[in-house]
Structure 1
């Protein structure tokens, strides 16, 4: 029987393990995770009825891999959508809160009246965005930054007040360095096919209306979806389904090539001889393990920058935070605040607090432009959060409880040249058959992307061993 080692027990590694297990191939696998728990950046804490997300709190429903996996492991009955009766997000701009206009898709207005009436963008800014209809499409197809693209199509005001907080925040990235092809290739397709982002969005809406949606029994009709018990439910259920060997709290220290495959060295454990290896770890860790096999490939991985972030979840008595009536607030970088955003967690999702008397908020710090904020002492971080919750939202009450979590150098940045580097890495790894990388550092940062990458990595190994 063939032996595969999966290094990394995040959602990519778990998806890879489950794919190997469910395949018809005769493969024995060992999953190795250096932390005492599985799940990687998906971490859900349960504390006296509070459900605290320390990593991602949801996934995008238009990418099917999470839903498909949930169906396979019997978890669809726990899927939940957002509370759309409170639907809405605010942008803090010029010391005021502005509702995002209805019909704004990503950063493109598709409904004229709500956008025209919104005070978020000035009239000169609205006129500049309207020029998207007549500006010529870009002839060359070389990569450019998100900042360059948005300013070219929609102008500086749209960049600063909409694109940077709304889209840049998803990646925790700096629009000035983010690769458009790696992060949002659909924008380039829209410009190429329609010559205008607005025309492309309107055409997409017309097609969507004509299509009859395929029935998805038990799947919430929501753009963002989570689980009743938080995203950690996906990890726990998947872990309980695994039948292979799982080593937690064990670190892989070295991987070398052998005549028949690979030798995987583990601190405090016997070496494992494997026919295939899946490196389902972030780029810096993958680079360190790749050094002995392919130093040039390791250099390609070292070129992926990593940003830091931190979150604080606050529990308040609901009567003390009447401001919590939407999904939350995004804060553009140009406002020069310490925090980046606030999510009204228990307003956005059900099943997050022990009773209606409580409201749960989540405050975000860090990202590519503010990574240093994520490392300040707890008291300083708490002070910033309380001060800005007061000045921006008028929240002056003392929270009942709070939870702090940090992700230091843990958010991969897809900078210009990322896709070229990943293509070169793939070509190099082709020369070492049986070794693949998978995860958020490579081909997509969202939970669906990570699951998809883990599945594809496992399928590549299965195909190789099948030869």
Structure 2
């Protein structure tokens, strides 16, 4: 009999085991996890009426796979939007904690008025960001994320916006991230619109906004419910 061994019981390992079990009911599957619990970085604690996420607290709506899996697991009725406090996020410039510009599309300015008013960038940094509208397309292949953003939007946008925000999502050095792996949508904006800013302006409103609570989604009671639902779908999987 064929066997499948999945190393790691985080969300990727759980999802792989779940889909493998559904695709091949007779397959012998083993899931190896060194920690005492499954779910990896996803961990929810509910105590005294409060829900605390120990890791990620939401998924993005414009990537459909997470929401599709929640629906398949019967969690669709528990999906909720997230409405962050205002300001929703702050970046420290060395002296002050300043709000991120409104209308930001991932890390790309999608509101020129908000870009003009933000104190995070100098007048030169703002002008350099808008120059993206005039620059030619770059090479179609992959490149370090820091090099990509600096090429399109300039060093200030990278250091004061993109690096802090992307560094808060991914571990390690944000400059060295693969752009195609971490932010393929931004390479698509450059390819389709010739400019990140132009693409962000055209997409503004299509994906919803962070400020309106339309960009992210979570589950009532926290993402830990997602882990428990996946565990229940692993009938016959050796843990």
Determine the structure 2 residue equivalent to 1:175.
174
Shift of the alpha carbon at 1:59?
1.2
Determine the structure 2 residue equivalent to 1:99.
99
- Alignment of structure 1 residues 131-280 onto 2, 5 Å: 131-138=131-138, 140-205=139-204, 208=206, 222-247=214-239
Determine the structure 2 residue equivalent to 1:40.
40
Measure, in 1, the Cα distance between the counterparts of 2:23 and 2:89: 43
Shift of the alpha carbon at 1:158?
0.9
Report the CA distance shift for 1:239/1:176 in structure 2 as closer, same or farther (over 3 A). Answer: closer
Report the CA distance shift for 1:160/1:37 in structure 2 as closer, same or farther (over 3 A). Answer: same
CA RMSD in angstroms comes to 2.6
Shift of the alpha carbon at 1:25?
5.0
Report the CA distance shift for 1:36/1:175 in structure 2 as closer, same or farther (over 3 A). Answer: closer
Moved over 6 A (4+): none
1:9–1:33 CA contact under 8 A, matched in 2: yes
Q: How many residues align?
A: 236
Measure, in 2, the Cα distance between the counterparts of 1:170 and 1:108: 15
Task: Establish whether residue 10 from structure 1 lines up as the match of residue 10 from structure 2.
Answer: yes
Give the TM-score, by structure 1 length. 0.46
Equivalent position SS for 1:244: coil
Q: Which runs of 5+ in 2 are unaligned?
A: none
Report the CA distance shift for 1:87/1:8 in structure 2 as closer, same or farther (over 3 A). Answer: same
1:42–1:232 CA contact under 8 A, matched in 2: yes
Give the TM-score, by structure 2 length. 0.85
Measure, in 2, the Cα distance between the counterparts of 1:120 and 1:197: 19
Q: Structure with the greater relative contact order (CA < 8 A, sep ≥ 6): 1 or 2? A: 2
Report the CA distance shift for 1:41/1:99 in structure 2 as closer, same or farther (over 3 A). Answer: closer
Equivalent position SS for 2:19: helix
Report the CA distance shift for 1:84/1:10 in structure 2 as closer, same or farther (over 3 A). Answer: closer
Measure, in 1, the Cα distance between the counterparts of 2:144 and 2:23: 40
2:163–2:175 CA contact under 8 A, matched in 1: no
Shift of the alpha carbon at 1:152?
1.7
Report the CA distance shift for 1:126/1:193 in structure 2 as closer, same or farther (over 3 A). Answer: same
| Higher CA-based Rg | 1
1:80–1:227 CA contact under 8 A, matched in 2: yes
Shift of the alpha carbon at 1:76?
1.9
Structure with a larger share of its residues in strand: 1
Determine the structure 2 residue equivalent to 1:26.
26
- Alignment of structure 1 residues 71-82 onto 2, 5 Å: 71-82=71-82
1:30–1:244 CA contact under 8 A, matched in 2: no
Report the CA distance shift for 1:101/1:176 in structure 2 as closer, same or farther (over 3 A). Answer: closer
